[in-house]
Structure 1
Amino acid sequence: MWRDYGVSADDFYAVRPECQDVPKTRFKIKAGKTLSTRRWHAAFNEEGYLDIGKTLDRIQRGGIHPTIRGEVWEFLLGCYDPLSTFDERDQLRQHRRQKYAAWKEECRQMDSVVGSGRIITAPIITEDGEPIQDPIVLYEAEKRGDTSNPCFQNSEDDQNILMAEREGILGLECLDGVRKESKVTAPLDKKVIHWKLTLHQIGLDVVRTDRTLVFYENQKNLSKLWDILAVYAWIDKDIGYCQGMSDLCSPMVVLLEDEADAFWCFERLMRRLRGNFRCTEKSVGVENQLQSLASVTQVIDPKLHQHLEALGGGDYLFAFRMLMVLFRREFSFGDSLFLWEMMWALEYDPDNFTMYEEQDNSQEKNKAPRLKPKSSRQIGKFERENKRNKSKTPDSPLPISVFLVASVLKNKSSKLMHEARGLDDVVKILNDITGNLDAKKACSGAMKLHKKYLKKAKTP
């Protein structure tokens, strides 16, 4: 029972042996701190009501044991109401699986590659909706004798590398080399054209995402990630698909075996983050958080803020990646999961989940009566601070991710002040933190800065 305590999370998320330069995970499973399977199951009563307050403190202290991580995340992200029964959650799970299956079938009708186990990695239609003959596609690694290096990290050159690797692989849309799709007999709807135009970008991103993991050596897992993102791109008419979403979705595919369950976990995460991906002709959604980061830094470290402004970095675009993909590039895979669950536990508040259900009203009426939360223990520490200081934050409270970035800048403040003579230096200094951050210390630093910020913030 206790034999895996003290071991690294790397033992659960195996890295391909040829990837020697991948940062090691710092997260350790610790008895008395990490939320164990026994503790998790003990938090439910006989009907299935979850006393989530018993789990939040444990997650905030030591994270979640990898064997139960997926099911705990479903509660942290608001997939399920802790004040629901086992039966209610089973019914809801089945309802959601059916709904996902219907959406996936709708997508499959538009393009037969969806659900086929294959992945599109090049445009299949023109912007006018005309089909492109012989597009480049991803063949199974063992089928095409893939000798590409799986260990390269995402960079500005990734797309060029990938396209070069696939040079000469033409006309292979299906595993048998034949694209089974009927000819276009009528002009495609604009929404369908827009969706089809994103499919190859999803494919290019999927084959770059977490390539160091043994898990993604399996073509089935790659196609599962691609299918989820393709379906999400179709149902989210406003945002669709944007680069970075594959980094957010990948952990759900790793942790949750059922594809539909992984989809709904990702969908709930996107409810929190989709504003970051909202783009207009004049702005990108994440700019709001970058502006908030500038405001926080100006309050807690005005000299650093002035220095960054003098270097031309007052827009804080150098922190763009950290906020967009929640530090996925700054931490190892295992540590990024540890960081996320601590963040979600600290931010947890049932009031923030506006909708747990998609079921109809007749089913809603038959639900068992809800229990009321016993105390503020049902809310994470970060949210408790926000509620206590509501008068100082009249607008929507800032997410903990902003304070995490502020904490990183604060820790690097001296180096930035003395060594950064331009924005290139700022980027280099921040890039050096990759693999060298401690997730727990980062969360602790974010909490301290949050309190300091609220203390210094002026009451309207």
Structure 2
Amino acid sequence: MALYFTKKASTAELDAYYPIRPECQDSVPKTRFKLRAGKTLSARRWHAAFSEDGHLDIESVLRRIQKGGVHPSIKGVVLEFLLGCFDPDSTFEERNTLRQRRREQYETWKAECQKMVPVIGTGKFISSPIITDDGHPIEDTANCNVRDGGVMSASSQDSEKKVIQWKLLLHQIGLDVLRTDRSLVFYESESNQAKLWTVLSIYAWVDTDIGYVQGMNDICSPMIILLENESDAFWCFECAMRRLRDNFRCSANSMGVQTQLGTLAQIVRAINPKLHQHLEEMDGGEYLFAFRMLMVLFRREFSFVDSLYLWEIYFR
């Protein structure tokens, strides 16, 4: 967001780009990553990596990212390429056409959701149930905490399984939004919280296979912060979910990250047998302690800045 970014590179504390609430200063992880002059992918080097018609020299960009990460002023647009939102071999014109088509599709989905739950798109959000488990609307709007957005009346669609399941998710998304990156000044704004809730709610409507699972809010939050346009943030999140969706598949017999936990166990066993043996003796041999770390890509273990740098290396 323009409010939080400046164009001048600096070796000063990077948390200044993503202000932390004063009362949270002592409770959040300290940032270790620093901008390095001549190493970090700057806005100048980023723009220079494009040909005249828009083809991106992705290899040079990736080499620069590996050396020093991405400058905060361009993290959003770079992340779009790292996640595969755009083909580096495409032209400016092709990307503009694709972006416009995606924005139109997003607005179509948003309009569908607004017809069912009018609070969507109002800058407000829901954090209490709006329907019962069997699909009946909850009339007491005072207890629905819809932030003055209103609750839809009963309709014939409420009996449809997809609509009911989706509406039952909305308040859980809202509760998770209230807990998302709450140490950042950015989320002191209700409109920013509502933007995150709206993107997650619309994604849950579109992706009937996964819907919404707790932790997706942590993956989506950086897109909301880095990309000002709501539709662009949605599509960036959608591309991330294409890579990470298996993390959020859970059943009675398996967890979405179970394979990754097994891989982590094999790596630690090979690299540090004593540590692996100790974990087994502590009944941690299944590495369930790393469940959250892998599921949301260390978003809650590292500072916001450090987790973004990790993503830049991971998604390259």
Above 0.5 in TM-score? yes
Aligned to 1:240: 211
- Pair 1:62 & 2:65 matched: no
Residues of 1 paired with 2:147 and 2:301: CA distance?
36
The one-letter amino acid paired with 1:343 is: Y
- Pair 1:274 & 2:245 matched: yes
Aligned to 1:258: 229
- Pair 1:207 & 2:178 matched: yes
Among 47, 50, 66, the alignment partner of 2:56 is: 50
Residues of 2 paired with 1:92 and 1:111: CA distance?
28
- Pair 1:105 & 2:111 matched: yes
- C-alpha contact 1:134 1:172 (8 A) present in aligned 2: no
Aligned to 1:216: 187
SS in 1 for 2:22: coil
- 1:126 offset after TM fit, Å? 1.3
Query: C-alpha offsets along residues 295-329 of structure 1, whole Å, 9 cap, x if unaligned?
Result: 22222223322332232222110111110111111
The one-letter amino acid paired with 2:139 is: Q
Aligned to 2:13: 8
Aligned to 1:78: 84
Matches within 5 A, 1:399-438: none
Matches within 5 A, 1:276-291: 276-291=247-262
Residues of 2 paired with 1:86 and 1:45: CA distance?
10
Aligned to 1:192: 163
Aligned to 1:175: 148
RMSD: 1.8
Residues of 2 paired with 1:89 and 1:326: CA distance?
28
Q: Higher mean Cα deviation, 334-343 or 2-11?
A: 2-11
Which one has the largest radius of gyration?
Answer: 1
SS in 2 for 1:237: coil
* TM-score of the aligned structures, taking structure 2 as reference length: 0.93
Residues of 1 paired with 2:50 and 2:172: CA distance?
42
The one-letter amino acid paired with 2:185 is: V
Among 260, 265, 268, the alignment partner of 1:297 is: 268
> What is the percent sequence identity of the aligned residues?
61
Aligned to 1:18: 23
Residues of 1 paired with 2:310 and 2:166: CA distance?
32
Residues of 1 paired with 2:107 and 2:51: CA distance?
32
The one-letter amino acid paired with 2:245 is: R
The one-letter amino acid paired with 1:30 is: R
Residues of 2 paired with 1:19 and 1:333: CA distance?
13
Residues of 2 paired with 1:237 and 1:172: CA distance?
26
- Pair 1:133 & 2:166 matched: no
Residues of 2 paired with 1:218 and 1:106: CA distance?
26
* TM-score of the aligned structures, taking structure 1 as reference length: 0.65
Total equivalences in the alignment = 310
Gapped regions of structure 2 (runs ≥ 5): 1-5
- 1:106 offset after TM fit, Å? 1.1
Aligned to 1:96: 102
Query: C-alpha offsets along residues 97-154 of structure 1, whole Å, 9 cap, x if unaligned?
Result: 1111111111111211111211111111111111122256xxxxxxxxxxxxxxxxxx
Among 112, 121, 129, the alignment partner of 1:123 is: 129
SS in 2 for 1:71: helix
| Structure 1 residues 36 and 79: CA distance shift in structure 2, 3 A | same
SS in 2 for 1:296: helix
| Structure 1 residues 58 and 185: CA distance shift in structure 2, 3 A | closer
Among 29, 43, 47, the alignment partner of 1:41 is: 47
Matches within 5 A, 1:366-385: none
